[in-house]
C-alpha cells in the first residue's frame, strides 16, 4: 500500500506532517509532501490513515 | 447601535452582531441546520448564511460563483467603490484567481513551518514575560493582560522592529485594527503616523538587511521586480489585521474553556503530549474566524435566489459544529483523534498564518498552565465576547487557585 498527496487538493493545512512526521514532510510553501515513495508498512499504515482522517481538504489517498 | 432591532428569526433576518448571536451562536446555528440550512437577511444590504459543513465547504471552494474581493461585511452592499477583483485591497485574502496564486506564493514561504517553528524560543520568552507581570495576583485578566499581547508581540518580533518600541507598536496596531473599516479619507489621515514609522523601519532594513519578515518582504520578487514600499506596507497591514484579533481570540477561548472545565485542564497539565491534539479541538469547537464572500452574479444556488453582490457569511465555526461532519459535534472532546475541522478555512484561501497561529496557541497555553496549573473563572458573567466576524473572549478575569 502506498500513500500520496494530491497537490491540486492540498492547501497546506499542515495536519499530515504534524500527525505523521515520519511519513509526511512540508515544502518551502508549507504544502504537504510524502517522504520517499510513500510505501506503507503495517506500522506506518495506521498513522497514515489517521493523517488522512484529519485532512480537511481530503487530499490524502492510500492505494494499492 | 442601540436602535438596531433585535433578531426575531435568524432564518430570515440573521445578524452576526445581534446580542444573542454574539453571546452564544451555537444553538442558533443548530436550529438553522435543522430547518433552513441557508439563512437569509436583508440587513447589510442583503446576504446569505450557510449553516452546514457541506454548504460552507462548497462555497469556500467555488471561486467561479463567489468572489473574495471583500471578506468583511460592511454596512451595505459593497457597490462600485470597492476595488475590483481579482486583486482587491489586501492581496491575497481579497484576491481571486488567477492573481491570488501569485500574491499568495509571495507570502507563503515566510509562514511555512520551517521559519515559523524557529520562532518558538521568542514566543516562549514573550509569554513567560507577560506572566511575570501578573505574578502574585489572585485574579489575572487572561484576555486583556495576556492573550491580547501575544500576537502583536510575536509579529513585532517577526518584523524585526525594535523591542523598545513595543508600546508604540501596540498603539499603531490599535490604530490599524480600529481604522481598517473607516472611510478611505479618514483612514489615510489616521494611518499617517503608522506609515511614517513603518517606512522608517523599512528604510532601516534596506540599509541593514537582517533575517526577519521585513527584510524578506523587501527582497522578495514578483515577476522579477522587488515590491514597492507601499505594497510591503500593505502586506504588513494585512498580517497585523489577520493575525492579531484572530489568535488573541483563539488563545482566550481555550483559557476560558479550561477555566470552567477542570478535568480538561488537569489532563493537559498531566499529559503535555496531548497538547497538539487538544489545540485542534479548541480550534474546532471555538473557531474564531468567519469570513465573507460576495455573490459574483445573479443565480439560483442551493435553492436560493442569490443576486450579484449579495453577502455570503462563510461560517467556518458553524461548519465545525455540524453533526453530519463531526461525531458528537457539540461535545468538546479534548483527545478527539479524527478532527477535520475547518477553523482555518478551506480551499485556496486557507489561512496563510495557520502554522503561526497554532504555534502561538500551543506556547501560550503551555506557559499559562505551567505557571498556573489550577484556575477558574473569577466572574463568569463578566466575560465579554467580541462581536462580528472574529469571536473570542475579551474581558476574561481568571482566579488563580493555589
Determine phi and psi for B297, rounding to 5 degrees: -155, 160
> Residue B78 pLDDT more than 90?
no
Task: Give the dihedral sign, CA B169/B171/B172/B177.
Answer: positive
Asked if B113's CB is within 8 angstroms of A26's CB, the reply is yes
Distance from CA of A50 to the nearest CA of B (A): 7
- Which chain B residues in 274-313 lie under 8 Å from chain A, judged by CB atoms? 276, 280
- pLDDT score of B211 more than 90: yes
Judged by average pLDDT, the poorest of A34-38, B123-127, B171-175, B177-181 is B177-181
A12 in contact with B at a CB cutoff of 8 Å?
yes
Give tens-digit pLDDT for B137-151. 999 999 999 999 999
CA nearest B111: which of B66, B71, B158?
Answer: B158
Which residues in chain A have their CB less than 8 angstroms from residue B287's CB?
Answer: none
Residue of A nearest to B316 (CA): A56
Instruction: Read off φ and ψ for residue B41, nearest 5 degrees.
Output: -145, 150
Mutate which: A21, A30, A54, vs B, most B CBs within 10 A: A30
Q: Residue B79: what pLDDT?
A: 67
pLDDT band at B108 (very low <50, low <70, confident <90, very high): very high
Spatial separation of the C-alpha atoms in residues B24 and B357, rounded to whole Å: 24
Asked whether residue B2 carries a pLDDT value surpassing 60, the answer given is no
Pairing of strands B139-141, B397-400: antiparallel
- Report the pLDDT value the prediction gives residue B182, as an integer from 0 to 100: 77
Q: What is the arithmetic mean of pLDDT over B200-220? A: 96
ipTM, two decimals: 0.98
Q: Do B342 and A56 touch (CB under 8 A)?
A: yes
pLDDT score at B234: 85
- pLDDT tens digits along A11-20: 999 999 999 9
- Given a cut of 70, whether residue B87 has pLDDT beyond it is no
User: What is the share, in percent, of chain B residues with pLDDT greater than 70?
Assistant: 97
- State percent of chain B over pLDDT 90: 79
CA distance A46 to chain B (A): 12
- Helix (H) or strand (E) holding B292, with range, is strand B291-295
The predicted pLDDT at position B35 comes to: 96
- The stretch B369-379 carries a mean pLDDT of 98
Q: What SS3 class is residue B323?
A: coil
**Mean pLDDT, residues B123-146:** 96
The mean per-residue pLDDT over the stretch B98-112 comes to: 93
Q: Cβ of A11 and B346 within 8 Å?
A: yes
In the prediction, which pLDDT does B230 show?
A: 85
Q: Is B350 on the interface with A (CB under 8 A)?
A: yes
**Does B249 lie at the interface with A, CB-CB under 8 angstroms?**
no
* A30 closest CB neighbour out of B113, B338, B346: B113
Which residue of A lies nearest to B281 if distances are taken between CA atoms?
A54
Q: Report B:64-123 residues touching A (Cβ under 8 A).
A: 105, 108-109, 111-114
Residue bearing the bigger pLDDT, B127 or B402: B127
Tell me how many degrees the CA angle B381-B386-B387 measures, rounded to the nearest 5: 110
Check if the beta carbon of residue B122 is closer than 8 Å to that of residue B332: no
| Residue in A closest to B348 by C-alpha | A11
B312 in Cβ contact with B318 (< 8 Å): no
Residue listed under C-alpha cell 462600485:
B80
Residue B248, number of CB atoms within 10 A of its CB: 27
Q: Is the pLDDT of residue B80 over 70?
A: no
Residues facing B377 on adjacent strands: B398
- Please list, in sequence order, all residues whose beta carbon lies within 8 angstroms of the beta carbon of residue B369, skipping any fewer than 6 positions away: B258, B265, B268, B269
Which of B220-224, B317-321, B325-329 is predicted least confidently?
A: B220-224
Taking residues B273-279, what's their average pLDDT?
A: 98
For residue B113, list chain A residues with Cβ-Cβ distance below 8 A.
Answer: 14, 17, 26, 30
- In eight-state DSSP terms, residue B143 is I
The pLDDT value given to residue B88 = 67
Q: Is the dihedral of CA B263, B266, B270, B276 positive or negative?
A: positive
Report chain B's mean pLDDT, rounded to a whole number: 93
Statement: residue B34 has pLDDT above 90: yes
Higher pLDDT, residue A10 or B223: A10
CA distance B140 to chain A (A): 32
How many beta-carbon pairs below 8 A join chains A and B? 52
Amino acid at each position: 500500500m502506498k500513500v500520496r498527496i494530491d497537490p491540486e487538493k492540498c492547501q497546506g493545512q499542515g495536519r499530515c506532517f504534524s500527525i505523521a512526521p515520519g511519513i509526511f514532510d512540508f515544502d518551502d510553501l508549507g504544502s504537504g509532501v510524502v517522504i520517499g515513495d510513500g510505501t506503507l508498512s503495517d506500522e506506518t499504515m495506521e498513522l497514515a490513515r489517521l493523517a488522512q482522517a484529519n485532512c480537511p481538504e481530503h487530499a490524502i489517498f492510500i492505494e494499492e | 447601535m442601540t436602535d438596531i432591532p433585535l433578531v426575531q428569526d435568524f432564518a430570515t433576518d440573521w445578524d452576526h452582531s445581534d446580542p444573542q448571536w454574539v453571546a452564544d451562536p451555537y444553538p442558533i446555528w443548530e436550529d438553522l441546520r435543522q430547518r433552513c440550512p441557508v439563512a437569509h437577511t436583508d440587513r447589510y444590504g442583503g446576504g446569505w448564511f450557510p449553516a452546514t459543513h457541506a454548504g460552507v465547504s462548497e462555497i469556500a471552494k467555488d471561486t467561479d460563483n463567489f468572489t473574495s474581493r471583500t471578506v468583511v461585511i460592511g454596512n451595505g452592499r459593497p457597490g462600485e467603490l470597492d476595488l475590483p477583483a481579482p486583486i482587491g485591497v489586501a492581496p491575497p485574502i481579497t484576491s481571486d484567481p488567477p492573481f491570488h496564486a501569485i500574491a499568495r506564493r509571495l507570502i507563503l514561504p515566510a509562514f511555512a513551518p520551517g521559519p515559523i517553528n524557529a520562532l518558538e524560543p521568542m514566543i516562549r520568552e514573550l509569554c513567560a514575560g507577560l506572566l511575570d507581570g501578573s505574578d502574585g495576583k489572585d485574579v489575572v485578566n487572561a484576555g486583556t493582560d495576556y492573550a491580547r499581547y501575544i500576537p502583536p508581540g510575536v509579529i513585532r518580533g517577526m518584523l524585526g522592529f525594535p523591542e523598545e518600541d513595543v508600546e508604540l507598536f501596540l498603539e499603531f496596531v490599535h490604530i490599524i485594527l480600529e481604522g481598517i473599516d473607516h472611510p478611505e479619507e479618514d483612514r489615510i489621515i489616521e494611518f499617517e503616523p503608522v506609515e511614517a514609522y513603518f517606512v522608517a523601519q523599512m528604510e532601516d532594513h534596506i540599509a541593514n538587511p537582517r533575517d526577519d519578515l521585513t527584510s524578506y518582504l523587501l527582497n522578495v520578487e514578483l515577476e522579477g521586480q522587488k515590491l514597492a514600499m507601499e505594497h510591503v506596507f500593505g502586506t504588513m497591514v494585512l498580517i497585523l489585521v489577520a493575525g492579531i484579533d484572530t489568535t488573541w481570540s483563539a488563545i482566550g477561548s481555550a483559557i476560558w474553556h479550561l477555566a470552567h472545565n477542570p478535568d480538561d485542564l488537569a489532563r493537559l497539565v498531566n499529559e503535555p503530549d496531548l497538547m497538539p491534539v487538544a489545540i485542534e479541538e479548541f480550534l474546532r469547537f471555538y473557531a474564531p474566524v468567519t469570513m465573507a464572500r460576495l455573490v459574483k452574479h445573479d443565480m439560483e444556488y442551493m435553492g436560493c435566489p442569490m443576486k450579484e453582490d449579495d453577502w455570503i457569511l462563510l461560517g467556518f465555526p458553524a461548519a465545525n459544529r455540524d453533526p453530519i461532519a463531526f461525531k458528537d459535534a457539540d461535545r468538546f472532546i479534548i483527545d478527539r483523534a479524527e478532527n477535520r475541522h475547518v477553523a482555518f478555512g478551506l480551499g485556496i484561501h486557507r489561512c496563510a498564518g495557520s502554522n503561526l497561529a497554532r504555534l502561538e496557541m500551543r506556547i501560550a497555553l503551555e506557559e499559562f498552565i505551567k505557571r498556573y496549573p489550577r484556575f477558574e473563572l473569577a466572574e463568569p458573567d463578566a466575560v465579554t465576547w467580541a462581536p462580528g466576524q472574529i469571536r473570542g473572549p475579551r474581558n476574561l478575569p481568571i482566579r488563580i487557585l493555589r
